[in-house]
Each structure stands twice: as structure tokens, then as C-alpha cells.
């Protein structure tokens, strides 16, 4: 599997390369050169697999050339062994058609744990045996930061710098980030919003002087490996609800659309998805809804809202 930049002006990389690179050198996002696809029979054969075995099966086409399926399964077992539920992301039935996919059983209670616990192990694997040091730079409104810090705290050859908007994250998530005493963890509170923090991160990745001096990587959804790991729980949920014979519709509370994009990827891989709605998460983010529904993209005044301790709202679905 090779990966290309969405802007078309960066070198193609393998999976190990895009995992460590994060953002492409031309400012684009690395995506697979082609979507791997499973047949109806192959998807049906996945029924009954454990979450770890399913994760290895679904992600193996994306890691080909960098990891074998057995090596990937070993990393998944290590990543999800710390989750508080044996099913990793269990389903809870609400009525005869509505189910909730619980994505809050990771160590920081955020759905980001599902991807970032694996990403931490991938970083360590691809850095082992060499002298390369990795500097992770990320922006967070709370949940990405705490999940990323927990995933890489104390790991050798990795330093993580996490930017968050001062006074604009929940107190629980601020403490999850700032009370970690590992020497490779660095928290930075900035004046401004999450968008300001994300813009700073992207400028660093686009600065040739910075990228030539240190090896930067990302933990936000600009890193393909994080999106890849999120594809798995769409397969996991759909298979338990009758896929591939039965289509499933997902309602996703998504912020930067990385989570719902993972559902799009699952559909491209052959999962029979009836639809992907962005749920009420669009309510405080009208710009994204306008861009998606009306084709208009423009900034609106910033709106401050109160946040719960964690944004790991379960994903609702209808079968």
C-alpha cells in the first residue's frame, strides 16, 4: 500500500512513513492511493471475530509492506488490553432499531483512545531499533490531548507537545493532560481557540526550517493511522447488527469530520452503510454543515459552549 498527498506535491510514502510523518510536506493529507475492498463473502467471514482479530483483518490492507497481519494483531492486542470492557466498543440496545456504540471504555474515557492507544504502539514499533527521535505536536479541545498524552507518555524517543486553548477545555480533561508527570510530555496553554491552536500546528508542519531540524508527527486526524483505526468500529458495529446482509445507518457526533470520514472509508471498503448523518454535533458548528449541505464555506462568529467532562458521546445507529 502506498499513500499520496491530497495536494499531489509530496512524495508517496508507505504506511510506516505516513504514520511518522503525519501531515504531508505540501500541506496535504496522506490518504491511500486506492481504497482496498472486501467482498460480501469476506465481510461475512468476519462475523464472530474478537475486536482485536477484526481490527487486524480490517487494517491489514492499509499496513501491507510495513507490518504483517500477525504483527498488527499483536499491536492491537497491546493497545486494547487496557480497555475496561472485554468487547472494547460494546453495543447497547435502545429500542428495536436504535443502538449506541460505546466508545468510552479506554483509559481516558474519550473515543480518541480507540485510535490513539494503537497509534502510540505504532510510533514505538516504527522507531525501535533506530536512532530517530519523534516530536509529536498536536492541538486539542480536551479529548485528543489527554488520549494522546496517555498513549505516548514515557515512551522512548518520543516527545509530545500538546496545545490547548486556555480556559476552553473541561477541568477534567485539563487535569488529565497537565497532571501527567512523564518527562516527555509538554502541555502548552495558548490564548485563543482550538482553531488557533490547530493553525499553529499546521504552520509548523509547513515550515521547512522546522521540519528539516526535527522529525515532526501528528496525533490529530490529519494522521492517516488515526483515521484508519476508527474504521474498525464501523465494521464491528455493522457486523453485530446483521451486515453484510443488512445495511446499517450511522449517526455520528463529529467535530472536524474525521470520525464520520472513517465511516465513509468503511463504506468504500465494501461495508453496506445506508447513510452517515452528522448528528447534532453540527449544531454548534454551522460552518461545516453549510460546507457539506450547501457548498458554502465561510467563517462565523465564535460561539462559546459548556462542555461535559468528555466528548466521548456514543455513536447512535439504526439497523
pLDDT at 286 over 60: no
> H-type helices in the chain, by residue range?
15-21, 40-44, 51-63, 69-80, 112-127, 143-152, 171-178, 194-205, 208-213, 224-240, 258-268, 286-293
In a domain, 157, yes or no: no
pLDDT at 281: 45
- C-alpha 77/C-alpha 49 separation (Å) is 13
**Residue 61 scores a pLDDT above 50:** yes
Residue 8 resides in a domain:
no
Residue 221 has a pLDDT of 81
Question: Could you say which of 112, 132, 202, 247 is catalytic?
Answer: 112
Q: Are 155 and 185 in contact (CB under 8 A)?
A: no
Query: pLDDT class for 303, splitting at 50, 70, 90?
Result: low
CATH code of 100's domain: 3.40.50.1100
The backbone torsions φ and ψ at residue 317, rounded to the nearest 5 degrees and listed phi first, read -150, 160
Contacts of 86 (CB under 8 A, 6+ apart): none
- Is the pLDDT at 316 greater than 80, yes or no? no
Q: Assess whether pLDDT exceeds 80 at residue 132.
A: yes
Q: Is 101 inside any structural domain? A: yes
65 occurs within a structural domain: no
d(CA 272, CA 2): 25
Flag whether pLDDT at 166 surpasses 50: yes
pLDDT value of position 143 = 83
Tell me the C-alpha distance between 310 and 200, whole Å: 24
Contact predicate 100/237, CB 8 Å: no
Residue 254 pLDDT grade (very low, low, confident, very high; cuts 50, 70, 90):
low
Average pLDDT over residues 59-80: 98
Rg (CA), the chain: 19
Q: Is 112 part of the annotated catalytic residue set?
A: yes
Does the residue 255 lie in any domain?
A: yes
> Contact at 8 Å (CB) between 217 and 21?
yes
CA–CA distance, 145 with 156 (Å, rounded to integer): 19
pLDDT of residue 131: 80
Q: Which domain holds residue 268?
A: 87-108+224-302+309-318
Tell me whether residue 128 is in a domain. Answer: no
Residue 319 clears pLDDT 70, i.e. is over it:
no
Q: Is residue 285 part of a domain?
A: yes
Q: In the structure grid, which three cell numbers stand for residue 270, read together? A: 465494501
* Distance separating alpha carbons of residues 136 and 149, to the nearest angstrom: 10
Q: What percent of the chain has pLDDT over 90?
A: 66
Reported as a single tens digit per residue, the pLDDT across 7-36 is 999 999 999 999 998 888 888 999 999 999
Residue 163 to residue 236: CA distance in whole angstroms: 32
pLDDT of residue 315: 52
If one counts the domains in the chain, the total is 1
* Residue 17 burial (CB count, 10 A): 15
pLDDT score for 155 = 93
> Does residue 291 form part of some domain?
yes
Q: What mean pLDDT is reported for the chain?
A: 88
Amino acid at each position: 500500500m502506498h499513500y499520496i498527498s491530497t495536494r499531489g506535491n509530496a512524495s508517496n510514502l508507505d504506511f510506516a512513513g505516513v504514520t511518522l510523518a503525519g501531515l504531508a510536506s505540501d500541506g496535504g493529507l496522506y490518504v491511500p492511493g486506492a481504497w482496498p475492498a472486501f467482498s460480501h463473502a469476506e465481510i461475512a467471514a468476519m462475523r464472530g471475530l474478537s475486536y482485536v482479530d477484526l481490527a487486524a483483518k480490517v487494517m491489514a490492507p492499509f499496513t501491507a509492506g510495513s507490518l504483517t497481519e500477525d504483527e498488527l494483531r499483536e499491536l492491537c492486542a497491546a493497545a486494547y488490553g487496557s480497555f475496561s470492557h472485554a468487547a472494547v466498543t460494546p453495543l447497547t440496545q435502545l429500542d428495536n432499531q436504535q443502538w449506541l456504540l460505546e466508545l468510552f471504555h479506554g483509559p481516558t474515557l474519550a473515543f480518541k483512545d480507540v485510535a490513539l492507544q494503537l497509534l502510540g504502539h505504532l510510533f514505538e514499533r516504527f522507531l525501535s531499533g533506530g536512532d530517530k527521535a519523534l516530536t509529536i505536536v498536536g492541538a486539542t479541545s480536551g479529548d485528543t490531548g489527554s488520549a494522546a498524552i496517555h498513549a505516548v507518555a514515557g515512551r522512548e524517543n518520543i516527545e509530545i507537545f500538546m496545545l490547548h486553548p486556555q480556559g476552553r477545555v473541561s477541568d477534567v480533561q485539563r487535569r488529565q493532560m497537565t497532571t501527567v508527570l512523564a518527562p516527555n510530555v509538554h502541555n502548552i496553554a495558548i490564548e485563543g481557540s482550538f482553531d488557533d491552536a490547530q493553525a499553529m500546528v499546521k504552520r509548523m508542519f509547513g515550515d521547512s526550517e522546522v521540519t528539516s531540524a526535527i522529525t515532526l508527527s501528528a496525533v490529530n486526524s490529519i494522521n492517516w493511522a488515526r483515521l484508519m483505526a476508527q474504521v474498525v468500529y464501523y465494521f464491528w458495529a455493522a457486523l453485530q447488527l446483521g451486515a453484510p446482509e443488512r445495511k446499517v445507518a450511522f449517526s455520528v457526533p463529529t467535530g472536524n469530520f474525521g470520525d464520520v470520514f472513517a465511516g465513509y472509508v468503511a463504506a468504500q471498503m465494501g461495508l453496506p452503510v445506508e447513510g452517515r448523518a452528522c448528528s447534532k454535533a453540527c449544531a454548534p458548528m454551522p460552518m461545516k454543515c453549510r460546507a457539506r449541505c450547501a457548498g458554502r464555506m465561510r467563517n462565523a462568529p465564535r460561539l462559546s459552549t459548556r462542555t461535559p467532562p468528555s466528548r466521548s458521546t456514543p455513536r447512535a445507529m439504526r439497523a
